Amino acid sequence: MDMEKLVIGIDYGTDSCRAVALDTASGKELATAISGYIRWKKGLYCDPSANRYRQHPQDYIDSLVEVIHDLLAQLSPDEVKNIVALGIDTTGSTPCLTDRDGTPLALLPEYADDPDAMFILWKDHTSIREADEINALARKWETDFTSRSGGIYSSEWFWAKALHVLRANKKIREKACSIIEHCDWMPALLTGNLRPEQVKRSRCAAGHKGMWASAWGGYPSQEFLSALDPLFGGFATRLENKTYTSDVSAGKLTDEWAERLGLPHNVDVAVGILDAHAGAIGAGITAHTMVKIVGTSTCDIVVTPKKDIAGKLIPGISGQVDGSVIPGLIGLEAGQSAFGDVYAWWKEILSWSLNLLPEEQKREIIAQILQKLTEEAEKLPVTESDPVATDWLNGRRTPFADLTLKGGIAGITLATTPAHIFKSLVEATAFGSRAIMEHLEKEGVQVNEVIGVGGISLKSSYVMQTLSDIMGVPIKVAATQQAGALGAAMCAAVAAGVFHSMESALESLGQGYKTVYVPRVENRETYDVLYEKYRQLNRFLEAR
């Protein structure tokens, strides 16, 4: 191991881009920076009422430049000279249609303000119809291309989203030649390898979101795609069927980007990775560990030895992919379509009448709502007669994705307070996590420990204790506040040859744990009763 090298991890989240500079000798975070997406913050190009969420590629570029400049300003000139690699993670599936040269259409003048030419954010649900058609075709095709992604293809994913915008927008069809994930575009942009056939595509994005599998030689066949819709004609030929794990270099930073960012000219750029997978690495994932990335939604990542799976296909999850997290291990992904977003929704409901107040006073009160709700909810006893809610306010991701499902609350009376409802919503998100855990266990997936990571895990002891109580397992909370960026930095360190494997990078650069939540046995029996009511309410909503 070279003892004098620095690496950078860049984490593109839903609202902002974060970066961390890491000393590979000590594992110390030397600098951090954050930049929000300007156009996104203004609400441009999105329509929440239609579940349409789009992000402009220029936001990604502008935030990258800002965070790197901020990061380097915190380092000495000698430290900057010793930067050898950078790694990038992004939300996903967040794809965009490109032209023949691999340029996202929104970067062309004629498409600059067209939402369909932009990156389609992970939580965009405009392609439910297209996902249904993919599932129907896959079930009767000789090869079920959804079999490695739980047997159900989601409207949150690559092909469904691309097909939706191709169908919806004739102008887009005039130039669209290929599709690229955000996590693949950033390394391609920085290394100058943008042509669709030249892009080193991420194993985790392709396998979990793009129906890629070595079992059938790569992405779905052109015959399948054309049968789905002739608008996909030729698309298969413009996607390289080889994919790469994120400990591999995608190439060197171009001279142009080195100058623009102020970085050395020989910097390696690692193959991209999805944020949840990078977060799992940053949290210290090992075999038989579940990492829960807890934020607006959740992703549950498990890695397991190949011998434990032994060819078994796990139904109802978001993919099982060889090397998608740790090379040599099978990466399994599950999750919930809404977690923190459920609490944010209740805060917005309670905030509605505050629109009558002056803006400054309104902001001050809104900032306190979740804290006050938490304080009141913590005082409430856990009883079998408590209101029960579901966590499906943004559909269900796992088990068995169905984004048409709606949420519900049962058991309210005139004595029910906002804190009671908040408590039921927190418990609903924990019940959803328990359902995922039980599904994996039923399918024979061994999980020995749970690690929590993300903003909620660090900020809300009430949520995390409730999660531990209801899941019935201890939950470690990763100490790092930048798990995604840290994981991306670890990938970069291996890609540049600073470490010989992801395991050695994890061992040397891991940040440990901040705290551990242990289940309170006095609540277990009551939560078992409430969990059964949660399942009954779910069955009722599914039948609607």
Cis peptide before 93 (omega within 30 of 0): yes
Q: What is the DSSP letter of 221?
A: P
Give the integer Cα–Cα distance in Å for 203 and 222: 20
Helices 483-495 + 275-283 axis angle, to 10: 90
pLDDT in tens, 198-207: 999 999 999 9
Average pLDDT over residues 7-17: 96
Question: Minimal CA–CA distance to 69: which of 60, 80, 53?
Answer: 80
3-state helix, strand, coil in the chain (%, to 5): 45, 20, 35
Mean pLDDT throughout 51-57? Answer: 96
Average pLDDT over residues 319-323: 93
> How many Å apart are CA 12 and CA 15, to the nearest integer?
8
Say what the pLDDT of residue 1 is. 42
Residue-wise pLDDT tens digits, 81-107: 999 999 999 999 999 999 999 999 999
Mean pLDDT along residues 19-48: 95
Helix (H) or strand (E) holding 502: helix 502-509
Per domain, the residue ranges of the chain are 6-271
> What is the CATH superfamily name and number for domain 6-271?
ATPase, nucleotide binding domain (3.30.420.40)
How far apart CA 453 and CA 335 sit, in angstroms, is: 13
CA atoms within 13 A on the CB side of 106: 24
How far apart CA 308 and CA 206 sit, in angstroms, is 23
- Could you give the CA distance from residue 364 to residue 359 in angstroms, rounded to a whole number? 9
Residues facing residue 334 across a β-bridge: 300
φ/ψ of 460, rounded to 5, equals -120, 95
Count of C-beta atoms within a 10 Å radius of residue 499 = 23
| Other Cβ atoms within 10 Å of 501 Cβ, number | 13
What is residue 356's predicted lDDT score, i.e. its pLDDT? 86
Which tens digits make up the pLDDT trace of 522-537? 999 999 999 999 999 9
Which of 21-35, 351-365, 485-499 bottoms out in mean pLDDT, i.e. has the lowest? 351-365
Q: Alpha helix (H) ranges present in 229-383? A: 255-261, 275-283, 306-309, 340-351, 359-379
Task: Calculate what percentage of the chain has a pLDDT beyond 70.
Answer: 99
Chain-wide mean pLDDT for the chain?
Answer: 95
Share of the chain above pLDDT 90, in %: 90
Residues comprising the chain, all counted: 544
pLDDT of residue 2: 44
pLDDT digits (tens, 9 = 90+) for 110-136: 999 999 999 999 999 999 999 999 999
